[in-house]
């Protein structure tokens, strides 16, 4: 069995804590690697390396930094197939979906190519007599990212790209479920010319996370994962005086209006609900048809589509989705299906009995579909994170809107309608961070920002786009007067424009 390492100071470093966890290949159920779980001392070693390397990197001018990113893009393209297969095998998603995971990360690296422009400050000529004011953005120093299992390329790149482009040194603590791709990305950055110590990877669990949160040399932490951990990291990181942004769980609704194109709606719902086995923070997990006729029509069209989903091993290019990440995740999702039945929801498609021929130990689950879900049920309130779609019937548009607004989570949401007024009203009033109109997974492109509302996000600034540059830099403002403009005599009052 392979033993993974940390990546510190540009080198693979074996774990020394003596603690390991197993990582699996979900499509076969085999244990494929041992992942070292870092101690506080190992985290500290990464911080020391990062701290030593950071001033040199910050002194490299932004255009030269961008050239390292250009080279990285070339290498990522050259190794795309290798990365996608590695990702699919370790995570469980299909190879085409793994390529999408990598691509959405690459798009943020492309955004970072504009770093000379993105870092430009402001300048006011003659703000007072012979006085100019200018502001500049400077790196924070050493910053960290803590990332989830479900996008092992995209989310590490969303964190590492802007952090490094801004001149920081970065420490990634990826998910212990699928750390191989993040390690490979750090290697490719080194090969692209990034100095050693600027992109470090420390594998680990709570012990490593706590060491990051308590280390005074780490100035900012970006987290993505489940809401309880997001809240914990936000609270502890802020208490330690760090800049922190945490993105948490989700329950994304799709409102289906009576005038929606039913074929387009069902196509969108099936992909967004079951793609990647529902293990996406932007997956649609609740469909809210408005009116009984819309609901009946939707269910009639959905049932055969869910029943005919093609589930396969991650290497099957024709599969709609692959296995879920671990046996524990599989059991948890099945447990939620049992809960839904006991709560009185109607399970109209039951995928629990699905077996993948030739892969009997893999972590597979057929698509499940619930009708007649109500808002007091746990399967509605909680995030299931699996191929389970709930249909909650609303009588009116206002009831559907209230459901979206009253839910604890506010990551993504969609409305399907042909009516411009309704779509506009929904986009304006819905209390959710990312909204799709006739589009089921409204993940904004890299030059906009990504982030949820309510308990899907903690902190002020979002991921990628202009917010990421603000998050990874601090602003300094300089007010300058040249000696020729200085009048004689001391002034003991606060300077004003009067
Ligand atoms: P998770 O919260 O279990 O783990 C995320 C990270 O936190 C991992 O690196 C993990 O090692 C670490 N961690 C886990 N338990 C910890 C603890 N007790 N103390 C400190 N650190 C701990 O999440 P996951 O299962 O890897 O990912 C799935 C979750 O991530 C879902 O809830 C999903 O909605 C969410 N997610 C959110 C977004 C978003 O942008 N909002 C994007 C992707 C995933």
Determine the structural domain holding residue 469 and report its residue range.
2-248+456-478
Phi and psi (nearest 5°) for 183?
Answer: -65, -40
Structural tokens at position 35: 């992942």
**How far is 295 from 300, CA to CA, in rounded Å?**
8
359-400 per-position pLDDT tens digit: 999 999 999 999 999 999 999 999 999 999 999 999 999 999
- 205 and 331 in a single domain? The answer is no
Query: Quick one: DSSP state of residue 17?
Result: S
Answer yes or no: is 151 within a domain: yes
Per the domain annotation, does 277 fall within a domain? yes
Ligand 1 pocket check: which of 205, 226, 444 to mutate, most ligand atoms within 8 Å of Cβ? Answer: 226
CATH number of residue 265's parent domain: 3.40.309.10
Q: Is 222 in the pocket of ligand 1 (CB under 6 A)?
A: no
C-beta of 149 in contact with ligand 1 (< 6 A): yes
* Domain end marker among 383, 404, 437: 437
Ligand 1 atom nearest the C-alpha of 227 is 32
Spell out the residues 6+ positions from residue 141 whose beta carbon is closer than 8 angstroms to its own: 51, 54, 168, 169, 217, 219
Choice from 20, 146, 225, 251 to test ligand 1 binding pocket (greatest atom count within 8 A of CB): 225
Classify residue 321 by its DSSP letter.
Answer: B
Structure confidence at residue 130 (pLDDT):
87
State the number of CA atoms in the 13 A half-sphere of 51 facing the CB.
Answer: 11
Task: Report yes or no on 322 lying in a domain.
Answer: yes
Cα-to-centroid distance, 351 and ligand 1 (Å): 26
Residue 146 lies in a domain: yes
Q: Which of 159, 195, 193 is nearest to 174 (CA)?
A: 159
Helix (H, G, I), strand (E, B) or coil at 404: helix
What pLDDT, on the 0 to 100 scale, is given for residue 486?
A: 74
Does one domain contain both 198 and 259?
no
> Could you give the number of structural domains in the chain?
2
408 in the same domain as 336: yes
Domain membership of residue 451 (yes or no) is no
Q: How far is the CA of 390 from the centre of ligand 1 (A)?
A: 23
For residues 231 and 285, state if they share a domain.
no
| CA–CA gap between residue 429 and residue 236 (Å, rounded) | 33
Considering the domain boundaries, does residue 358 fall inside one?
Answer: yes
Pocket flag, ligand 1, residue 226 (CB < 6 Å): yes
98 and 184 in a single domain? The answer is: yes
Both 142 and 227 in a single domain? yes
Alpha-carbon distance of 141 to 274, in angstroms, equals 41
Q: Is the CB of 213 under 6 A from ligand 1?
A: no
336 in Cβ contact with 347 (< 8 Å): no
Active-site residues: which are they?
281
Which residues, 6+ apart, have CB-to-CB distance to 469 below 8 Å?
118, 119, 137, 162, 166
CB distance 178 to ligand 1 below 6 Å: no
Residue 227, domain CATH: 3.40.605.10
CA of 207 to the centre of ligand 1 (A): 15
Mutate to test the pocket of ligand 1, among 229, 285, 455, 463 (most ligand atoms within 8 A of CB): 229
- pLDDT confidence of residue 494: 86
58 with 182, same domain: the answer is yes
pLDDT at 129: 84
Examine residue 443 and state whether it is found in any structural domain, yes or no: no
Q: Please list the ranges in the chain whose pLDDT falls under 70.
A: 485, 498
Do 288 and 240 have their domain in common? no
Residue 432: the pLDDT is 98
Same-domain status, 57 and 180 = yes
Contacts of 213 (CB under 8 A, 6+ apart): 221, 233, 236, 237, 240, 242
Beta bridge partners of 413: 253, 435
Instruction: Please name the residue ranges forming H helices in 192-242.
Output: 206-214, 227-239
Same domain, 381 and 466: no
Q: Are residues 473 and 417 in the same domain?
A: no
**Per-residue confidence (pLDDT) for residue 364, from 0 to 100:** 98
Residues 267, 301 within the same domain:
yes
Looking at residue 484, its pLDDT comes to 78
Ligand 1 pocket check for 326: Cβ under 6 Å: no
Residues 6+ apart with CB under 8 A from 442: 282, 412, 413, 414, 434, 435, 436
How many alpha carbons lie under 13 Å from residue 75 in its C-beta half-sphere?
18
Question: In angstroms, what CA-CA distances link 332 with 131, 243, 329?
Answer: 64, 33, 5
Whether 324 is covered by a domain: the verdict is: yes
First to last CA, the chain: 74
- Residues with Cβ within 8 Å of 133's Cβ and at least 6 positions away in sequence, in order, are 122, 123, 124, 127, 477, 478, 479, 480
């Amino acid at each position: 069995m392979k033993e993974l390492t940390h990546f510190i100071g540009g080198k693979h470093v074996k774990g020394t804590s003596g603690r390991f966890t197993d990582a699996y290949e979900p499509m076969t159920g085999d244990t494929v690697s041992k992942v070292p779980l870092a101690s506080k001392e190992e985290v500290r070693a990464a911080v020391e390396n990062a701290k030593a390397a950071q001033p040199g990197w910050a002194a490299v001018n932004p255009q030269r930094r961008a050239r390292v990113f250009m080279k990285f893009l070339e290498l990522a393209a050259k190794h795309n197939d290798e990365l996608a297969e590695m990702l699919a095998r370790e995570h469980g998603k299909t190879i085409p979906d793994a390529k999408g995971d990598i691509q959405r990360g690459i798009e943020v690296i492309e955004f970072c190519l504009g770093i000379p422009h993105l870092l430009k400050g402001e300048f006011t000529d003659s703000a007072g007599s012979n006085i100019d004011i200018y502001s500049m953005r400077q790196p924070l120093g050493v910053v960290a990212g803590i990332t989830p299992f479900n996008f092992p390329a995209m989310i590490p790149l969303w964190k590492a790209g802007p952090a490094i482009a801004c001149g920081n040194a970065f420490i990634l603590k990826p998910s212990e479920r699928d750390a191989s791709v993040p390690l490979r990305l750090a290697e490719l950055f080194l090969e692209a010319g990034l100095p050693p110590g600027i992109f470090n990877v420390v594998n680990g669990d709570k012990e490593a996370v706590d060491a990051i949160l308590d280390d005074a040399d780490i100035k900012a932490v970006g987290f993505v994962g489940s809401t309880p951990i997001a809240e914990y990291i936000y609270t502890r990181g802020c208490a330690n005086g760090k800049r922190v942004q945490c993105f948490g769980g989700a329950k994304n609704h799709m409102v289906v209006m009576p005038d929606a194109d039913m074929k387009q709606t069902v196509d969108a719902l099936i992909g967004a609900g079951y793609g990647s086995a529902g293990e996406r923070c932007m997956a649609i997990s609740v469909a809210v048809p408005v009116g009984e006729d819309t609901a009946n029509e939707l269910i009639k069209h959905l049932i055969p589509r869910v029943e005919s989903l093609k589930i396969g091993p991650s290497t099957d290019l024709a599969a709609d989705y692959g296995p879920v990440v671990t046996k524990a995740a599989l059991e948890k999702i099945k447990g939620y299906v049992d809960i839904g039945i006991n709560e009185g929801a109607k399970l109209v498609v039951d995928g629990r009995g699905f077996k993948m021929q030739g892969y009997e130990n893999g972590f597979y689950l057929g698509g499940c579909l619930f009708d007649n879900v109500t808002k007091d049920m746990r399967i509605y309130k909680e995030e299931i994170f699996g191929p389970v779609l709930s249909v909650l019937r609303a009588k009116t548009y206002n009831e559907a809107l209230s459901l979206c607004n009253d839910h604890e989570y506010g990551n993504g949401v969609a409305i399907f309608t042909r009516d411009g007024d309704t779509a506009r009203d929904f986009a304006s009033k819905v209390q959710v961070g990312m909204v799709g109109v006739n589009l089921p997974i409204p993940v904004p492109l890299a030059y906009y920002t990504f982030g949820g509302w309510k308990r899907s996000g903690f902190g002020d600034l979002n991921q990628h786009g202009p917010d990421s540059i603000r998050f990874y830099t601090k602003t300094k403002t300089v007010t300058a007067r040249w000696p020729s403009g200085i009048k004689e005599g001391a002034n003991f009052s606060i300077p004003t424009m009067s």
